[in-house]
Every structure is written in C-alpha cells, then in structure tokens.
Structure 1
Amino acid sequence: MKLGFLTACLPGRPLDQIAAWAGEHGYEALEVAAWPDLGARPFTATHLDAARFGEREADETRALFDRHGLTLSSLAFYDNNLHPDPAERKAVNDHVAACIDAAALLGCPTVGTFVGRHPGRTVAENLADAEQVFASLVDRAGEQGVTIVVENCVMEGWHPDGYPGNLAYSPELWEWMFSLGLYLNYDPSHLVWMGIDPVEALRPYVDRIPHAQAKDVQLFPERRNRYGWPGKAVAREDPWDVGWWRYRVPGLGEVDWRRVVDALYEGGFDGVLSVEHEDPVWGGTDDKIHTGLQIAHRTLRPLIPA
C-alpha cells in the first residue's frame, strides 16, 4: 500500500510543483485531477488536459513522476454521467472516455468518476440509464487495460432536496456497479454520516477496490436533531451546507483509520490510499492546504508499513 493525495485541493498550482512538494514531504503517489477547465467550480482542477493528451505529454508526465519518485495512481474526473441535460451528459461521458485514453498512454491503472443521477427520474430509471451509459465506457477501458473506479460520494448538493445525487453511496449500489464492470474508489467518510459502518461495509468488497481515498468527517449530532438526516431545508443557500457534518483531513474526524487500514490490509489491498483534502478548516490558502496534507500524512503514515 502507498500513501498519496488527490491534486484537486491545489487547483492553482501546476502539476510539477505539486509533484515536487509531494516527493519532499513523504508522499508516494498522486491521484491527478483531470477535469476540463470548469472555472471556479469547487473541488475540481485541470492538472492533466485529457482532451489534448498525446505521447509527448505522456512522456513528460512519466518523467516528472519518475524524477520525484512518485506513482500516478489514478486520473480523477468526478462528474455527473447521468446529467439531466443531454448535451452536458454527453460532454461528461466523452471526457471520461478521454481520461481512459490518457490513462492508457500513461500506464495509469484507473480512472475515477461518479455514476451521478438525473434528479427528475426514479432510482430504478437512473440505474437503467447508467447501464446504457457505462457499457461502452467499460468496454473502452477494458480494451486498454484501464479500470473505471467510482467513488461512493453521496453528492447531495446535486439533488434539489439534498438527497443522494450519485448512485454509488451504499454496498447495495456497489454490487449493482460491479455487475456493470465498474469498481469502487472507497472513501469511508461518506459512509459515516450515512450511518453505515465503514469497516463492516468494506470487508466483503476489498477485492473490488483497486484504489481508495482517505477523507475524514466531523459530525455534530445536536444539529442533526434540528435538521434531520437530509440536513437544512428552510435556509439552505449553499446546496452543500447540510448543517450537521463537515469533511476533515484524516485524524480530525470520526473515522477509525486503524480499523480501516487494517481491514484493507486483511483483504489484500495493495493499491494507493489517496488523501482527498476537502477540509474547510485547513483550506483557503495553499499554506493551510499543505498543513492539512501534513496532518493527514502524520495520521496515516504510521499505519502503512514502508
């Protein structure tokens, strides 16, 4: 197992600077953000331009990672593959395909994305749509030796009422994804606030997890007593402000990382555990983000034998 982080937390920094910092501070891998340029949309970045990626760019990227002793664990493009607007859905699906092609050129084993959801259709209708959307993407990935991994993020901000906007949030849905040839990019933080034990949920599926993310979550049960599980309903100006929990870097929340890492090891996981930094306390400036990544490193590194 190697320890890495997702580069999307540093959207304004070029990849060469991020790689240099990672190598200097004890990280072994990077999960590289590969969104198209979406402006100021939060939690996205374009550290690799998948739509304009060829052999020259692949050679330069491999050389950069070799220079700093890093593994490129995954290309990250987490977006709504079931977007309700047909043109936007096609753009997302096409960019996943571009990421698959770029990963193949790089010898990168995985591409990460979301299933997503059309909020105006039932869950059953969405699942049927997803079976159509992902069939060609899974085939394209398989032909090039790439695995598509889906993060179990709830994406509640994508639904007008704060319900799950990414149909990959539970083991029931993981089993459905596996039947399509998709794999899991496991992140325990989302399970905790959903009321699912992240270790017991993990144990049966480690062999379907080629990549994992490390994000923590801090709960405020007294606020949940006011809002209920879906979160704020009357005064929710920010769709992502649920009101009773927030993400933290590993070590500052509720996740028992000793149990999580132990369960991964016991199940035979030998991939990359990638820190996904979305901590509002240690965010806002590059210096704070770097501190957050160092906190995560100090938490996780002792659990991962060299």
Structure 2
Amino acid sequence: MKLGMLTACLPHWSLERIATFAASTGFERLEVAAWPRVGGREFEASHLPVATFTDEDAAATVSVLERTGLGISALAYYENNLHHDLERREGIHAHLRHVVDTAAVLGVPYVGTFIGRDNTLSVKDNMALGDRMLPALVDYAGERGVKLIIENCVMEGWHPDGYPGNLAYSPELWEWVTGLGFGLNWDPSHLTWIGIDPLETILPFAKHIVHAQAKDVELFPAKRNRYGFFGKVDKGDDPWDMGWWRFRVPGRGQIDWARIVDRLYEGGFEGTLSVEHEDPLWGGTDDKVTEGLRIAHHTLRPLIARS
C-alpha cells in the first residue's frame, strides 16, 4: 500500500510545485487532476493538458516524477457520464477518452471518474442507460491498458433535492458497476454519512477495490433532526451544503482509520490510499490546504507499512 494525495485541492499550483510539496511531506503517489480547466466547480483542477498532450508534455511529467521520486497512482476526471444533456454528455466522454490516452502514454494504470446520473430518469432507467452507454468507455480504456475506476461519491449537489447524483453510492450498485467492468476507487467518507458502515464493505469487494481515497467526515445528528437525511431545503448558492455533516481531513472526523487500513490489508489491497482534501476548516488558502494535507499525512503514515 502506498500513501498518496489527489492534486485537485491545489488547483492553481503547477504539477511540479505540488510534486515538490508532496515529496517533501512524505507522500509517495499523486492522483493527478485532469479536468479540462480550473474552476468548473470547487475542487476541479487541470494539472495535465490531456486534450493536447504532447511528447514534450510527457517528457516534462516524467522528469518531475523522477526528480521527486513520486509515481502517479491514477488520473482523476470525476464527471457525469450519464448527463441528461446529450451534447454535454458527449463532451464529457470525449474528454474522458483524452484522459485515458494520457494515462496510457504515462503508463498510469487507472483513470477515476463517476457513473453520474440523468436526473430526468429513475435509478432503474439510469442503469438501463448505463448498460447501453458505459461499456464502450470501459472497452476504450481497456484497449489501451487502462482501467476506469469509479468513486462511490454520492454527488448529492448534482440533484436539485439532494438525492444521489452518482449511481455508485451503495454496495448494491457496486455489483452493477463492477459487472460493467469498472474498478472501485473506494472512499469511506461517503458511506459513513449515508448510514453504511465502510468497514463492512471492504472484504466483499476486495478484488474490485484497486484504489482508495482517504477523506473523513464529521456528522451533526442534532442538525439532521431538523433538516432530515437529504439536508436543507434552501441551500442558497451552495448545492453541496446539506447542513448536518461536513468533510474533514483524516484524523479530524469520525472514521477509524486504523481499522480501515487494517481491513484493507486484510483484503489484500496493494494500491494507493490517496488523500482527498475537501475539509472546509483547512481550506480557503494555500497555507491551510497544505497544513490539512500534513495533518492527513501525520494521521495515516504510521498505519501504512513502509516497503
């Protein structure tokens, strides 16, 4: 198991600057953000120009990795692959293929994305849509030696009423997702707030969990008693403000990381545990973000055996 970090929390830094920080902090791997641009929504970043990736870009990236001693565990483009707008959906698929192409050039084994959801359809109808639309993406990646992996983020902000906007939020749906040929980029924080014990999901899906994200969560049950499970009705300008929970860096929330890492080892996990920093208390400035990453490293490093 290796300890890594997702670069999206530092959207305005260059990949070289992030790599220098990550190596000096003690991280071993980077999960590199590869959205088309910075600022589509919070926590999107573009640290590799995948749509126009050249031999010179590849050489520069390899040089950064060699200098810092880091590896790339996965490229990250978490978007709605079942978007109801057909033009938007095709644009997402086109960019995802660019990300896959870049991963193949760099020898990166995984590209992370979302299933997504067409909000005009039921879950069952979305699954039927996915059966028609998604295998071509899996095949495109596989033909290039890359595996698409799905994060189990709920993406409640994509739905007008706070319902799941990414149909990979439960083990029931993982059976469908993995049946389509996707791997799992497993994240315990999302499971925790929707009432699923993350520890109990590891062994049943151990062969499919090829990458994992380390994000914590803090729950406020008294506030849930006011808003209900689906969160505030009036979220103002922030569709992600559920009102009764918030993401935290590992070590500042409710997840028992010692037991999680131990169970991952029990399941034979040999991939990267990648810190995904979305903690509002350790956000807002570069100094706070980097300190949040140091807190996460301090929490997780003692739990992972050094190779």
Shift of 1:132: 2.0
CA distance in 2, matches of 1:60, 1:106: 11
Aligned length: 306
Q: For residues 270-289 of structure 1, what are the structure 2 equivalents within 5 Å?
A: 270-289=270-289
User: Any unmatched runs of 5+ in structure 2?
Assistant: none
- Stretch moving more, 184-193 or 61-70: 61-70
Q: For residues 139-288 of structure 1, what are the structure 2 equivalents within 5 Å?
A: 139-234=139-234, 236-288=236-288
Matched AA of 2:216: D
CA RMSD of aligned residues (A): 1.0
- For the 8 Å contact 1:104–1:144, the answer to whether it is kept is yes
Shift of 1:59: 2.0
- For the 8 Å contact 2:283–2:289, the answer to whether it is kept is yes
Q: Which runs of 4+ in 1 moved over 3 A?
A: 234-237
- Scaled by the length of structure 1, the TM-score of the pair is 0.98
1:80 aligns with 2:104: no
CA distance in 1, matches of 2:180, 2:51: 25
Post-superposition Cα deviations, 1:39-78, rounded to whole Å, max 9, x if no partner, equal: 3521100001111113321222112111101010000000
Residue 293 of structure 2 is matched in structure 1 by: 293
CA distance in 2, matches of 1:44, 1:235: 21
CA distance in 1, matches of 2:293, 2:76: 18
- Stretch moving more, 50-59 or 154-163: 50-59
CA distance in 1, matches of 2:199, 2:123: 26
- For the 8 Å contact 1:54–1:102, the answer to whether it is kept is no
Shift of 1:85: 0.8
User: Any unmatched runs of 5+ in structure 1?
Assistant: none
- SS of the residue corresponding to residue 281 of structure 1 reads helix
CA distance in 1, matches of 2:237, 2:285: 24
- SS of the residue corresponding to residue 172 of structure 1 reads helix
The percentage of counterpart residues that share the same residue type is: 59
Residue 28 of structure 1 is matched in structure 2 by: 28
Q: 1:235 to 1:66 in 2, by over 3 A?
A: closer
CA distance in 2, matches of 1:209, 1:146: 15
- Stretch moving more, 229-238 or 12-21: 229-238
CA distance in 2, matches of 1:114, 1:47: 19
- For the 8 Å contact 1:34–1:99, the answer to whether it is kept is yes
- For the 8 Å contact 2:235–2:241, the answer to whether it is kept is no
- For the 8 Å contact 1:8–1:44, the answer to whether it is kept is yes
CA distance in 2, matches of 1:14, 1:60: 12
1:51 aligns with 2:45: no
Shift of 1:129: 1.2
CA distance in 2, matches of 1:198, 1:300: 17
Shift of 1:8: 0.2
Matched AA of 2:52: R
- SS of the residue corresponding to residue 250 of structure 2 reads coil
Residue 103 of structure 1 is matched in structure 2 by: 103
CA distance in 2, matches of 1:56, 1:145: 22
CA distance in 2, matches of 1:14, 1:170: 35
Matched AA of 1:296: A
- SS of the residue corresponding to residue 30 of structure 2 reads strand
- Scaled by the length of structure 2, the TM-score of the pair is 0.98
- SS of the residue corresponding to residue 281 of structure 2 reads coil
Matched AA of 1:30: L
- Stretch moving more, 47-56 or 22-31: 47-56
